[in-house]
Structure 1
Amino acid sequence: MPTPVMAGVDGSAESFAAAEWAAREAVRRERPLLLLHARNWHPRRADGEPADAAQRQLARRALRRAEERVRRACPAVQLSDEQVEGPASAALLSAADRADLLVLGSRGLSGFTGFLVGSVTLAVVAKATCPVVLVRAGEEAADEDLPAEEGSAAEGSAAEGSAEAESAEAESAEDGSAVGEGASDRVGHRDVVLGLDAGDPSDEVIEFAFEAARLRGARLRVLHAWQPPSAFELGPGDVALADKPQQGREWRGFLSAVLQVWRDKYPGVEVVECVPQDKASTALIRAASAAGLLVVGHRLAERPVGPRTGPVTHAVIHHVGCPVAVVPHP
């Protein structure tokens, strides 16, 4: 049996949004959906003692409500549920070991773009062995689609960006404007945005993003943000003052070389390469403002001070409004 897409359910609006998003993703991936509820853990309770009846009832009610919403939204999904005993972060991490994908809800900040991310979610994101997707309350299927007029505008913008790139490559490399192929075939889905370090790329992260774009019929926008080295970072044999357009072209060349094998593997996915001169977190937050999904990587490593997600991942999961996929890699 294929490994399931899992969604954590606790009865909150954000967890119901996560369950519906997970159901749509399970259908795309042709996988079953497992709704998971982690009951509160009481360390004083003797091992093997049955869980409190009220706790079981609350868990059953939360799962039933989630099931009802999922069946209305995705009647074709193969659905099951499970209750596990916490602590919540440990229970979710254990479940993630047998999941294709784990989806969690994060409360949107009222009046602002982004998530309110709790300690349980951060711990799961930092240590999960499968990709974790964060979904805010209110996320709907229609949020992944471009309005018709916006799709047309995006098509024109992409075509214009490609023309500018051909005639003024140095300028586009410096400001990070898009260079893509097949822009005239623009579809009506919001972009999947991939944040990638072209100097240290991860196959797991790249493959997840290409597959997500393929499943959606969406364009993949791959972004590598760069900043010129400071005088303290330059060695005695380095070219100290290479002009910025040249640096941008070099980074674009690195990015294109990294992506070529994936373009060949996914010929049906339209790819747009962006190499803005900016902080990575700032560039990703800006690029994700009109995206359907943002994909970032997270290097799994044991740290003596506890789980950490890294500064870029930490920033985007707090400030990006669209669903965020955090993909672990060695």
Structure 2
Amino acid sequence: MVRTVTVGVDGSRESLAAADWAAREARRREVPLRLVHVREPDPFTLQDSAADPETREHWAQRIPREAAETLAERYPGLEITTDRRTGTPSAELIDAAQEAEVLVIGSRGLGIVTGFLVGSVALATVGRVGCPVVLVRAEGEEQGERSGGEQARGEEVVLGLELYRPCEELLEFAFDAAARRGAPLRVVHGWNPPLVYGIDPIAVDPRLATDLAEESARVLKDALRPWREKYPRVEVRAQAVVGRPARHLLEAAEAAALVVVGRRNRRSPLGFHIGPVAHAVMHHATVPVAVVPHD
């Protein structure tokens, strides 16, 4: 079975930005790009012109075809396939992702103050899909489009890492992403003093705070050592910082090419299965966000 980079397209500006990002990722990975368009079952009566079967079929064919034609012109030599489906978008994308190395989805922005909206389709897909999912905003891709779709020199890949629950899949994805881009990898580990010392880091004795900071930095260095050896060409910038991990990740993401966070697999069928850090970064980061599932 040939693995692909798979992207959901629905004709929106966000999905077209996601398709462009996915095309570049497929080219980096040297795998085909697969465009998936999901047509939902028509809930209306046939008397509604919007529900005209021929009209809906026309758009179901046109959307992936035009996206494929645009990308083929922009990225000559890239193998592109289209897949038209009918059903629930999240369920169909999850099924399509079984053959994917990465699934890419467009995400809509609401503005700086309000933050960003991650819709129910994206949340349901991210929370249950078995491969890494990358959320792409049209706003974040505008600069890439103006520069020919390539990453600006010096832009980092940012990884949010929880040290005391090591995750090989997360580290592998982040180091590989940095290596493929020739980019530095910034690893951010946010930590707080144990609750026994109180909830305010300022209240901790300065000497104890120094000891805790040094211990966190040491554990982070040890966790990264084998990955530095595996990817010797990746420049690693590691930081263990006091405070909420999501806040530090969002600050680091302002000049990043990609932010990578983890999502722990859950067996319960209820809920979206996305942790608070990943959830916050998905909603507020303006750059592409990769969510990597792991046990």
TM-score with structure 1 setting the length: 0.79
Q: 2:292 is paired with a residue of what secondary structure?
A: strand
Q: CA RMSD in A?
A: 2.3
- Verify: 1:54 aligned to 2:70, yes or no: no
Residue in 1 aligned with 2:110? 109
- Verify: 1:36 aligned to 2:1, yes or no: no
- Post-superposition Cα deviations, 1:81-121, rounded to whole Å, max 9, x if no partner, equal 01011111111111111111100000122355953210010
Instruction: Give aligned-pair identity as a percent.
Output: 47
CA contact (8 A) 1:223 1:274 kept: yes
Question: Unpaired segments of 5 or more residues in structure 1?
Answer: 46-50, 147-187, 235-239
In structure 2, the CA distance between the partners of 1:56 and 1:5, relative to structure 1 (3 Å rule), is same
- Verify: 1:265 aligned to 2:230, yes or no: yes
Q: Which amino acid aligns with 1:189?
A: G
Tell me the CA shift for residue 74 of structure 1. Answer: 1.5
Tell me the CA shift for residue 64 of structure 1. Answer: 2.1
- Verify: 1:223 aligned to 2:224, yes or no: no
Partners of 1:96 and 1:304 in 2: CA distance: 19
Number of residues paired by the alignment? 279
Q: 1:100 is paired with a residue of what secondary structure?
A: strand
Residue in 2 aligned with 1:6? 6
Tell me the CA shift for residue 53 of structure 1. Answer: 3.0
- Verify: 1:325 aligned to 2:295, yes or no: no
1:1-330 → structure 2 map (5 Å cutoff): 1-42=1-42, 52-111=53-112, 115-138=116-139, 139-140=141-142, 141=144, 142=147, 145-146=151-152, 188-231=153-196, 243-303=208-268, 305-330=270-295
Partners of 2:197 and 2:274 in 1: CA distance: 27
CA contact (8 A) 1:220 1:269 kept: yes
Partners of 1:76 and 1:29 in 2: CA distance: 14
Tell me the CA shift for residue 306 of structure 1. Answer: 2.3
In structure 2, the CA distance between the partners of 1:226 and 1:125, relative to structure 1 (3 Å rule), is same
Q: Which amino acid aligns with 1:20?
A: D
Tell me the CA shift for residue 283 of structure 1. Answer: 0.8
Question: Unpaired segments of 5 or more residues in structure 2?
Answer: 46-51
Tell me the CA shift for residue 14 of structure 1. Answer: 0.4
Tell me the CA shift for residue 233 of structure 1. Answer: 8.2
CA contact (8 A) 2:38 2:86 kept: yes
- Report which stretch shifted further, 18-27 or 34-43: 34-43
Q: Which amino acid aligns with 2:21?
A: W
- Report which stretch shifted further, 318-327 or 246-255: 246-255
TM-score with structure 2 setting the length: 0.88
- Post-superposition Cα deviations, 1:121-170, rounded to whole Å, max 9, x if no partner, equal 00000001000000001414347644xxxxxxxxxxxxxxxxxxxxxxxx
Q: Which amino acid aligns with 1:292?
A: A
